[in-house]
Amino acid sequence: MAELVAGVDEAGRGALVGNVVAAAVILPATFNLPGLTDSKKLSARQREALFDAITAQALAWCAAAASSAEIDAVNIHHATLLAMRRAVEGLVTPPQSVLVDGKFTPELAMPARAIVGGDASEACIAAASIIAKVTRDRQMAELEARFPGYGFAAHKGYGTKAHLAALARLGATPEHRRSYAPVRAVMAGGFLQQE
């Protein structure tokens, strides 16, 4: 029987607002996921279609997060590893080993290996990158509904000109990452929007 390997990736490390989301995916030995690749190389429509196909075919999958407050408390690196650990531990079927996109692995009960560019070379990591990205994009659409005017659904919380202009105009939301310099600058002016 083939070893159960979980691929792990994250979305939202560089954003100024919201969760960092990690996903873990165990694919079956044979799967039919045409177009599967690193989520950054796909359109939103392609990611949504693959999200449905991956969740239908995966032996197990889990998306988990670390909040903006956790990011501020422990820094983005440790928060990302925390989200990754939560995703792996949330799998209904525990993997025998884990492949993680990037340079670092979270502390886990099973062997884990970091692979730089793994989302482009390992199918299970590519699948995880899509689950993480789509999950986080959906969270940003929800944030857009809660805090209109920032354009979260469009820029996904990243520090675009439009987002920085909205921050300057409207102040920081409770979901903004206070440890990030552009948000800190707004907060220094005492500008915090209440929900």
Domain boundaries defined on the chain: 5-146
Is 122 annotated as belonging to a binding site? no
Give the list of residues 6+ apart from residue 167 with CB closer than 8 angstroms, or none. Answer: 16, 150, 176, 182, 183, 186
Specify the pTM: 0.94
Quote the DSSP letter at residue 44: H
Identify the pLDDT of residue 84: 98
pLDDT at 1 over 90: no
* Rounded (10°) CA dihedral 166, 22, 138, 44: 90
**CA–CA gap between residue 126 and residue 184 (Å, rounded):** 33
CATH 3.20.20.110 fits 5-146, yes or no: no
72 annotated to bind ligand: no
Task: Report the SS3 class of residue 68.
Answer: helix
11 pLDDT tier (thresholds 50, 70, 90): very high
175 labeled part of a ligand binding site: no
Looking at residue 41, the DSSP 8-state letter turns out to be G
- Give the largest CA-CA distance in the chain: 60
